[in-house]
Structure 1
């Protein structure tokens, strides 16, 4: 979940620790950075009274300083904080109850403890007098250096801790000795044991340095997407696990074996799923894996460059350039995957995402359980598309959790062609389903089942209202508007449920209501106005300014139009469904369309033909 959305679901007290830490970082930074000081002063008011958008702007301005400060504080908090950071920055853990994070901590501690015992046994049994430079000898060298880094403080009568400088040297040593991140954690556990209890106290310490928000009423932990990226950089993690999984799914069995061989792992008799699982657990450098491991030792530089070019195509990455060197191509792949979430959410409309998820659940009844295990999602509530979006899990992420064989089976059962990228074909098929609904948008608004059936759209009458709402969202997304599902979910209650929220900025929104009507004009003004006024109050309570209320229906009665024009409490615009479709068609037909959401804020019955003409 984005920082801006988290700030809307926590109260002033719950966001105070983040704001206070941000204020301290800002005060220290502007004392040494005049350019930054000038930008900060351009923001109005004191930070403690700042709006959510101003807090986000300030965070983005001082991000490098914020990151450095977090790094310093984490080094002082020790191994327990490092373990917790590893957990909260993993896929699916950005929204979870404290008890769930605590259970993950206990599970992770047990795994590290077991690995530490195995490493200890290996070190005890090794023959260090031999000339063989095997795994035991490499672990022994790293363990000795790690112990020295920890003990030299004690000899100098200082608190024992590993400094950033020492950590940097140890990381290079681990890379040269081919010590995996998993082995590093186990050996560090031997030198300085991670506490088995006290995870919740440590979470509170992380809250003090702005890394987590804790909502007290249900003890839910929130970690902003921007903070997850920051923690990954601090930890030296080039890609999230879900993106590394994509790369591994795309590689051949031989290439997976090459990676394992490069790091002395067994490959004989090991099945593909186990190879992928082992590589993920090793937490290897992605750059090194792409540049050195996948092609094997016999491949020359041109072979490696060509394979990365093919990989860009295999991953369906839309890049303006391919890069001329192996380093450039590696960097392009990593940067593209790190920044793909927004593009992937936009590639499939909210309707398309829901239809895809529902369809996959039919093909794979255990899909929910699979996703909960893969992303460590707590099973305290149903797994919905809205929850997946809040956790930043995209349609692509879901398809890459599935094995290549599973995806091919789904493609065949859906009757799609057998040539091409199976995952991409599945995604495009659901994009096509949304396009059919948009093409028949007016019939959908009029609940015209016969016309919909003639267009090969099978839909139950009870579902038409929801489909119209979702298709309206899809049109807005195609128009380049921001349909804010996270914000909508945060402000909705069991009683008051807005259909659509369009974010114009960090603070300004348009409330959208999509109304179907079977016969005649839509005429229920008193009921509709009570609804939208309640939504306006909810948004304003969350710190948002409602620029306009936009009601979309097949057509409106004269009384409805007059009542909307004379309503003094809220600003209402009315738009007929055929008019929105006309605007959409005009937008799609232009090479460089000029469209802004402000065109919806004129008030009264909007002249769609005039808007379409001026796009």
Structure 2
């Protein structure tokens, strides 16, 4: 969830620690920074009164200072804090209940303790000095113990300093010891605390640092995507697990085995899925994998560079330059994947995402690690560590920044090919890309025939190849309308819509135009003649307005979209004193959309939809 969105869901008290932290960083930042000066001037130097978008701008301006501040504070904390930060910064945990975080911590601690005891037993039973993996673990353990007990020699509390840790990190890199093993060995020297009280104490400390938000009403922890990126950098994690998974999916079995062999992991009798899972959960640095671990020993530098070139193609990375050195090509891969989320959400609309999600859920025939049948929902819960009673929906996935591509990469290569065949898509090219393209194209076709949808012209829709039940036309019109508004770069607030909807009344669209101001949108189809049901529509929208205002939002406008409106409807809307209503024909919205898409640098604002009465689409289209 983006910082701006997180801020809009919290009250002033819940935001206070973060804002205090940001205030201090802005005060000590470079006074020559134009962004900081301009934004602070806009809010009269009072950050606590700033809007979410202004606070987001300030955060971006001091992101480097925020990272250094968080790094210094986290360095003073014990290992239990490091373990919790690792959990909180993982995919799917950006919004989670405190009780679920406690369960994840307990599960992680148990797994870590088990690995630590296994290493202790293996090292204790081995006398060999053959530079095997166990021998390398012993070398690292002895060095870590010296670093830990150095302070005791000068009568100080045992601790590992930053300098010592940097040396240990370099040592683990050259000894090819994975991150999970490093943490387990440190756990043997300085046991990590377990228990609910430890988690609660660490969460409060992180909140005081301004690193996380806690929603007391829902007992939830929230960490914005921007802060997760900072935490990953502090941990030395260059790529989120969901993006690392994409790389592992396109590697061969032999390459996966090479990575595991480098770290002394078992490969005989291990399935491809288990190999990928082991690599993901071992914390192996992605740069080490791509620069040395996945290759055969005989592979020279040119072979390695050529392999990365093929990998860039396999990952559908569209880069202007792929670089000439190994490091440059690794940088291209990491930078492209780290910045992929926004473009991936833009490539397919929310409606297209939902349609794809529903189709995969219906046709998915997966198996879990034990070989038992598994649903798509179960796979998503497992891989993204979602709580059992959490609803898994497209809205929830979008809030957790899980893109359609992220979801498709949860499926193995064989599962994706099987799904592609069930959907009767082309066997040429990347099957994941073909699936995405298919649902993006379906959405485009609905927009192309938007006016026929509005008029419920079933025969025209059938003629152009849109396979749709007549009873579903209203829902598809609503989805197409939402998609058009999204592509006009308007912010659709699904979270608020979900909160105000009841079993009886459901608002179609909510557009956020500022932190507190919204537009309520209604998409109405009409088969014969003009849309004329003003009294019914009026009761609906006034109920939505009241619910939105109860959520602390100000309804700047109500926007009703229909194929056309009766004269009585137009006059009643103009004379309504309780709400501000704008009317827009389906043809008019399509005209605005076409004008927007035709311009290289379109200039469109949601405020153009708040003029009231029947909007003149041709004038709005010209102003774009």
**TM-score exceeds 0.5:** yes
Aligned to 1:309: 309
Q: Which residue of 2 aligns with 1:291?
A: 291
Point out the more displaced range, 10-19 or 364-373: 10-19
> Per-residue deviation at 1:103?
0.8
Contact kept? 2:295, 2:304, Cα under 8 Å: yes
Match of 1:394 in 2: 403
1:552 pairs with 2:551: no
Which residue of the partner structure matches residue 166 of structure 2?
168
Kindly provide the CA deviation profile for residues 155-185 of structure 1, in whole angstroms up to 9, marking residues without a partner as x.
4444443333332222111111111101011
1:543 Cα deviation (Å)?
A: 6.3
Which string of whole-angstrom CA distances, capped at 9 and with x for unpartnered residues, describes residues 462-492 of structure 1? 4333221111111123334333434544665
Question: Shift in Å at residue 567 of structure 1?
Answer: 4.0
Q: How many residues align?
A: 611
Task: State yes or no: 1:191 paired with 2:200.
Answer: no
2:234 paired with 1:234: yes
**Kept in 1: contact 2:486–2:492 (CA 8 A):** yes
Aligned twin of 1:89: 89
Counterparts in 2 of 1:530-541, with a 5 A limit?
530-533=539-542, 535-536=544-545
- The aligned residue for residue 9 of structure 1 is 9
Counterparts of 1:374-389 in structure 2, within 5 Å, are 374-389=383-398
After superposition, residues 430-579 of structure 1 pair within 5 angstroms as 430-486=439-495, 488-489=497-498, 497-504=506-513, 509-533=518-542, 535-536=544-545, 547-568=556-577, 570-579=579-588
Which residue pairs with 1:135 in the alignment?
133
Q: Secondary structure at the match of 1:77?
A: coil
Identify which range, 528-537 or 252-261, moves more after superposition: 528-537
Other-structure match for 1:38: 37
1:328 — aligned with what? 328
What is the rounded CA distance, in whole Å, between the counterparts of 2:319 and 2:139 in structure 1?
A: 43
* Secondary structure of the structure 1 residue equivalent to 2:214: strand
Q: Secondary structure at the match of 1:379?
A: coil
Q: CA deviation at 1:534?
A: 5.1
CA contact (8 A) 1:96 1:222 kept: yes
Q: Deviations over 1:194-247 (max 9, x none)?
A: 111122222222222122222222312211111111110110001111110000
1:531-578 deviation line (CA, Å, top 9, x unaligned): 445555655666666554322111112122223334455443211012
**Structure 1: how far apart are the matches of 2:476 and 2:75?**
51
Structure 1 Cα separation of the partners of residues 584 and 75 of structure 2: 56
Contact 1:522 1:557 in 2 (8 A): yes
Partner of 2:65: 65
Whole-angstrom CA distance in 1 between matches of 2:479 and 2:24:
43
Q: 1:416 corresponds to which residue?
A: 425
Aligned counterpart, 1:50: 50
Find out whether 1:144 has 2:142 as its counterpart. Answer: yes
Counterpart for residue 369 of structure 2: none
Is the Cα contact below 8 Å between 2:43 and 2:49 reproduced in 1? Answer: no
Task: Indicate the RMSD between aligned Cα atoms, in angstroms.
Answer: 2.5
Higher-RCO chain (CA-CA 8 Å, sequence separation at least 6): 1
Q: 1:8, 1:490 within 8 Å by CA — same for their partners in 2?
A: no
Which ranges in structure 1 are unaligned for 5 or more consecutive residues? none
Distance in 2 (alpha carbons) for counterparts of 1:292 and 1:253:
16
The farther-off stretch of 476-485 and 387-396 is 476-485
Q: Distance in 1 between matches of 2:161 and 2:388?
A: 39
SS in 1 for 2:511: strand
Structure 2: stretches of 5+ with no match in the other structure: 366-374
How far 1:505 sits from its partner (Å)?
5.2
C-alpha distance in 2, partners of 1:370/1:512?
34
Distance 1:196 1:138 in 2: 28
